[in-house]
Amino acid sequence: MSYKNIIFRKEGKIAKITLNRPDKLNALSPELIGELEKVIEEVKSDRDVRVLVITGSGKAFSAGADVGAMVEATPLQAKESSLRGHRVFRMLEELDIPVIAAINGYALGGGCELALACDIRIASEKAWLGQPEINLGIIPGWGGCIRLPRMVGVAKAMEIILTGERISAQEALQAGLVNKVVPEDKLEATVNELAEKLASKPPIAVKLAKNVIRKGLECDLEAGIGLENSAFSLCFATKDQKEGMKAFLEKRQPQFKGE
Ligand code: CO8
């Protein structure tokens, strides 16, 4: 499938989506969101892909939803656009494979919310993150009010959302919003290395762990323990569990097959 607003590449087991409207700082227009939905479907149905990387071209990851496309929106249109983005970001979260956000520059508003829906965030030291919606007279509409406090705590999320001020990559690291900050010229190599590492892990266990972590955040402790218990025992139905444990006992590297 060909796309106008994104570049999609696959190298071995790693797929990469590059948001590609650099002259508009990769603002998430309705067309771009539509292409994101299609490409995530494509990734979902490709059993060979083990890791997805999302990044931006030029100096931004994404400066957010396209303001020009929503300035005259009615409440109903705003509701529709918000729900559409929620659906797409949820699809990302629910992929069976790990998703890494390679934050190469500005990740603001919807761009920050897209990064929040990824599993791991690696930022360039030149990146800036934030939820500036308040300065436009609106609030985050693609999950910022919900995912950000879960990630950085209520106090920091209040500060970020209510002031609308951008925070540096280093501050984002301290807040737990990104996993790692690296020099700009090391971002691609760092993300590739992490992606290769994740792609070498047993995919069924990766999928189960991701699923339990995500679902576990949405339920009470007892239910969470039940989820983990079921998923843990299911691992013992896989050849990868036998291989992983035998390889350990035989002091060799495991050869995981995803079975
Ligand atoms: N939407 C549309 N165009 C944008 C956006 C955006 N979010 N961000 C940047 N652009 C455009 C600029 O208009 C400019 O275009 P042009 O050259 O045609 O004038 C081009 O990108 C380059 O931008 P700047 O000249 O502003 O670049 P600077 O380096 O001077 O500044 C900033 C960079 C600081 C990132 C600045 O561009 C900025 O503040 N951008 C807006 C950030 C923002 O407010 N984002 C939040 C948007 S709202 C949102 O994301 C809500 C999410 C939920 C939506 C749910 C329903 C749709």
Q: What are the structural domains, with CATH classification, of the chain? A: 6-199 (3.90.226.10), 203-249 (1.10.12.10)
What is the position in ligand 1's atom list of the atom closest to the CA of 111? Answer: 50
Pocket of ligand 1 (CB under 6 A): 24-25, 27, 63-68, 70, 78, 81-82, 85, 106, 108-110, 132-133, 136, 140-142
Q: Does position 2 have pLDDT exceeding 90, yes or no?
A: no
97: closest CA among 142, 47, 134?
A: 47
What is the position in ligand 1's atom list of the atom closest to the CA of 59? Answer: 29
What tokens were used for 120?
Answer: 């791991």
Q: What is the pLDDT of residue 143?
A: 98
Angstrom CA distances, 37 to 41, 51, 84, 148, stand at 6, 17, 9, 22
For 218-238, how does the pLDDT look when each residue is reduced to its tens digit (9 = 90+)? 999 999 999 999 999 999 999
Distance 64 CA to ligand 1 centre (A): 7
Question: Is 133 considered catalytic here?
Answer: yes
Identify the residue whose C-alpha is closest to ligand 1 atom 22.
24
Q: Which residue in 35, 113, 165, 188 is the catalytic one?
A: 113
Work out the average pLDDT over 200-225. Answer: 97
Q: Give this prediction's pTM.
A: 0.97
Q: What is the pLDDT of residue 1?
A: 76
Angstrom CA distances, 38 to 121, 210, 212, stand at 22, 22, 26
For 14-53, how does the pLDDT look when each residue is reduced to its tens digit (9 = 90+)? 999 999 999 999 999 999 999 999 999 999 999 999 999 9
Probe ligand 1: pick from 24, 25, 142, max atoms within 8 Å of CB?
25
Q: Which residue has the tokens 């569990």?
A: 241
For 122-179, how does the pLDDT look when each residue is reduced to its tens digit (9 = 90+)? 999 999 999 999 999 999 999 999 999 999 999 999 999 999 999 999 999 999 999 9
Instruction: Give me the percent of the chain exceeding a pLDDT of 70.
Output: 100
Question: Is 93 considered catalytic here?
Answer: no
